[in-house]
Amino acid sequence: MISLSDIRKTYITGDAELPVLKGINLSIESGDFLALMGPSGSGKSTLMNIIGCLDRPTAGTYMLLDRDISKASEEELAMIRRDRIGFIFQAFNLIGRISVLKNVELPMMLKGLPRDERKSRALKLLESVGVSHRADFSPQNISGGERQRVAIARALANNPEIIIADEPTGNLDLKSTEEVMEILSGLNREGRTIIMVTHNPEITKYCNRVIRMRDGRILDQSSVEQS
C-alpha cells in the first residue's frame, strides 16, 4: 500500500544543508496500525508529512496505492489528502469559528458533496464517535476528549483508507486517551491503515508494528503480537 525506498529529505538554510531523513526504506501494508516513535529531531514528523502528502521528499521514491507520489503535482497531492488520507493532530486543529458539524463537513465540502448528503454523513460520523450531541457546539466549548473525537470524525469524512495521527493523545488525559485509542483501534479493525506518531509507549499496545527512528534513520522495527 505504501512503499518508501531510500527517501531523503534535506533542508537548505542559506549555505548549510540539514539532512533530516537519510534514506528511509519502509513498506506499510493495508491494515497496518503502525506506531512511529523516536526522540524529537529524529525526523519522524518529517517522515509523516511525506507519507501524508503534505511534503515531498528531496530524493527517493514514494509509492502510495501504486502511484509514484514523488512526481505528483501540488494539486494532485491535495486531492490525495482529501480523498485518501485522514489527519488527526495533537492540537486537534478544529476550526473554532464554525460548528462541530461544519468541521466534520469540511472535507466533504472540499470534495463538493451536496449539502444534505454531507450533513447526514457528518451526523452519522459524530454519532459513531459518540459526540453527536455536540454537533451545533463551537469546538471551543467542548472538552479535549470530545474535540479529538470530532477530529476523528472529520478525518473519516471522505472515507479514507489511511489515517495519519500525529500524537493524537498528546493533549489528552488517561480516560480520553483510552477512548480515542479504542476508536482508532476499531477503525483499524474495519481495515483502515493507521500511522501514528507517539511518545507514549503505553499506547503502542494497540499497534501491530512499532518503528523507532533516530537521526533520520529507522533504528529498528518490531512487530507486536496483537492480543
Partner 1 sequence: MKLYDILDLISIGFKADRFKTLMSSLGIIIGVMAIVVMLSVGEGIYSGVSSQFSTLDLDIIHVIPGRFSFGGPPARSPEEPAKFTDKDTKLLENIPGVKNVAPQTSAGVIVSFRDKNASATLIGIDPEKEHDLKSKISQGRFLTESDHTSIVIGSGVANGLFRMKISPGNRVRVYYEDGHMDFRVVGVLREEESSGIRAGNINTQMYVTHKAMKELLGRENYYYGTFQVTVDDPESVDEVVDRIKLDLERYHKDEAYDATTARDMLSSLMSILSMIKYALAGIGAISLVVGGIGIANVMMLTVKERVREIGVMKALGATTRDIRLQYLLEAGLLGVVSSIIGIALGIAVSFAIGSLAGLPSAIKIQSMLIGMLFGALSTIVAGVYPANRAAMLDPIEALRSE
- Positions that interact with partner 1 (CB under 8 A): 49, 52, 54-55, 74-75, 78-83, 87, 89, 93, 95, 97-98, 102, 106-107, 109-112, 115, 154, 158
75 vs 190, which CB is nearer to partner 1? Answer: 75
87 vs 206, which CB is nearer to partner 1? Answer: 87
CA 9 to chain centroid, in Å, comes to 20
35 vs 108, which CB is nearer to partner 1? Answer: 108
114 vs 191, which CB is nearer to partner 1? Answer: 114
Kindly write down the DSSP assignment for every residue of the chain, as one continuous string. Answer: -EEEEEEEEEEEETTEEEEEEEEEEEEE-TT-EEEEE--TTSSHHHHHHHHTTSS--SEEEEEETTEEGGG--HHHHHHHHHHHEEEE-TT----TTS-HHHHHHHHHHHHT--HHHHHHHHHHHHHHTT-GGGTTS-GGGS-HHHHHHHHHHHHTTT--SEEEEESTTTT--HHHHHHHHHHHHHHHHTT-EEEEE-S-GGGGGG-SEEEEEETTEEEEEEE----
Taking the complex as a whole, the smallest distance from the CB of residue 225 to partner 1 amounts, in Å, to 33
C-alpha cell at 38: 523516536
C-alpha cell at 122: 457528518
Taking the complex as a whole, the smallest distance from the CB of residue 163 to partner 1 amounts, in Å, to 13
40 vs 227, which CB is nearer to partner 1? Answer: 40
Taking the complex as a whole, the smallest distance from the CB of residue 175 to partner 1 amounts, in Å, to 26
- 8 Å CB contact between 44 and 37: yes
Taking the complex as a whole, the smallest distance from the CB of residue 161 to partner 1 amounts, in Å, to 14
Taking the complex as a whole, the smallest distance from the CB of residue 208 to partner 1 amounts, in Å, to 25
Taking the complex as a whole, the smallest distance from the CB of residue 67 to partner 1 amounts, in Å, to 16
Taking the complex as a whole, the smallest distance from the CB of residue 25 to partner 1 amounts, in Å, to 23
49 vs 70, which CB is nearer to partner 1? Answer: 49
82 vs 212, which CB is nearer to partner 1? Answer: 82
Residues listed for the chain: 227
